Amino acid sequence: MDTEGKVIRCRAAVAWKAGEALIVEEVEVAPPKAHEVRVKIAASGVCHTDWAYLHGAGRGMEMRPFPLVLGHEGAGVVESVGAGVTRFSPGDKVIPLFLPQCGECECCLSAKTNLCKANWSKTQQGVLADGTSRITCRGQQVFQFLGVSSFSEYTVALETNLTKIHPDALLQRVCLLGCGVATGYGAAINVAKVESGSVCVVFGLGAVGLAAVMGCVSAGAGRVIGVDVNTDKFAKAREFGVTECVNPRDHSRPVQEVLVEMTGGGADYTLECVGDVEIMRSALESCRSAWGVCVIVGWTELEEMRLRPFHLLMGRTLKGTYFGGWKSVRDVPRLVEEHLAGRLKLEEFVTHTLTLDQVNHAFQLHAGGQSIRSIITM
């Protein structure tokens, strides 16, 4: 491509300060260094985690460095590659990954986890392997959220944080496999390991929760109870296969008591897809003693969860998951193929398609509970 080796001037939504609206600016995206790839982003989903890092920084979330380009649920096409890159070529369709898979660290070599540690602390701090980001704006370095920054027309990712996908994939849909849909789906099938005929409860019916419902249904769950305080979420949840809906606000007693009664002693599997420590406790207490499994998917970094060890002593298991247990580079292309084969929904998660200029509107729709996923198209 004629941009190879040159700085690209393009548009990106810059978060200058925590808690403030994003500003669409002209930015410069430097060419990829060794073992990096520059990607032309086609589309990006808007995940709760983007919103939470902007508005919850220093509260539930660790403070991230600003200015920052958010977005971690993107898909695009390789524009150029840095020295030493062999797995990618210009024109390849790719999904950037906030969770790498280097294939070499002790976690990558273990079948027990997907938590690759390659450059982990650096990408969490918004920089690539050499300690700098590739994006600048008005002469200032702009940090790259989780090493991705998909709210930009172009970005640069480490080759370990990128995966090549099937050329038939529609980028405006498969971007959702970069975070929310992969996470919820994997939480049910890889982490909870939902069994056929079982009773499941999913707390929070946003994209992550609906994807968890999809995982429960594909594993053959007998009942899937959906819990949300926003009753507007129930119609879509039923389309995804939720068999019963519960609004905690309809009840004067704790929702776990309602659910234990509904399930005759508790669910086999519960999945928390909200990110609220009180609901995490409800999720644990809603699964049955002896073998119930509770999986925490919702995100919080600084808050503490209260629990009674008695609930664990009585045989319940409490687990958490990052990215649904998927080994990212290996498994995301497989999920794309499952979607292309018609076995994994994506279209159904998309409620709004917006432009980069409308990114703050996408956040408002999200915070107001009006969207499941907004897709920003570049």
Q: In the chain, which ranges are E strands?
A: 8-15, 23-29, 36-45, 68-69, 74-81, 93-96, 135-137, 140-144, 154-158, 162-164, 199-203, 223-227, 244-246, 269-272, 293-296, 317-320, 350-355, 373-377
| Cβ(276)–Cβ(304) below 8 Å | no
Q: How many residues bind ligand NAD (CB under 6 A)?
A: 32
* Position among 274, 293, 332, 365 found at the interface with ligand NAD (CB under 6 A): 274
Q: Which two tokens stand for residue 344?
A: 């994994």
Interface positions, 21-60, toward Zn ion (CB under 5 A): 47, 49
In the list ligand NAD, Zn ion, none, the entry touching 207 (Cβ below 5 to 8 angstroms by class) is ligand NAD
Interface positions, 279-308, toward Zn ion (CB under 5 A): none
x/- binding map, residues 287-306, to ligand NAD, per CB under 6 A? ----------xxx-------
In the list ligand NAD, Zn ion, none, the entry touching 246 (Cβ below 5 to 8 angstroms by class) is none
Using rule CB under 6 A, residue 145 touches ligand NAD: no
Give how far Cα 338 sits from Cα of 174, 289, 334, 341, 342, Å. 11, 35, 6, 5, 6
Question: Which residue carries 């207490």 as its tokens?
Answer: 285
Q: Which stretch binds Zn ion (CB under 5 A): 33-41, 83-91, 95-103, 141-149?
A: 95-103
Using rule CB under 6 A, residue 269 touches ligand NAD: no
* Position among 47, 97, 116, 280 found at the interface with ligand NAD (CB under 6 A): 47
In the list Zn ion, ligand NAD, none, the entry touching 116 (Cβ below 5 to 8 angstroms by class) is Zn ion
* Position among 52, 70, 85, 102 found at the interface with Zn ion (CB under 5 A): 102
Q: Which two tokens stand for residue 111?
A: 């079948």
Interface positions, 151-210, toward ligand NAD (CB under 6 A): 179-180, 183, 203-209
Give the Cα separation of 305 and 73 in Å (integer). Answer: 28
| Cβ(319)–Cβ(297) below 8 Å | no
Q: Which stretch binds ligand NAD (CB under 6 A): 2-10, 224-232, 235-243, 263-271?
A: 224-232
Strands 373-377 and 350-355: parallel
Pick between residue 199 and residue 207 the one whose CB is nearest to Zn ion. 207
Using rule CB under 6 A, residue 345 touches ligand NAD: no
DSSP characters over 89-152: -TT-EEEE-SS---S-STTTT-TT-----TTHHHHHTT--TTS--SEEETTEEEEEGGGT--SB
Interface positions, 243-262, toward ligand NAD (CB under 6 A): 248
In the list ligand NAD, Zn ion, none, the entry touching 208 (Cβ below 5 to 8 angstroms by class) is ligand NAD
Q: In 253-349, which ranges are E strands?
A: 269-272, 293-296, 317-320
Binding footprint of Zn ion on the chain (CB under 5 A)? 47, 49, 102, 105, 108, 116, 118, 179
Binding footprint of ligand NAD on the chain (CB under 6 A)? 47-49, 52, 179-180, 183, 203-209, 227-230, 233, 248, 273-276, 279, 297-299, 321-323, 369
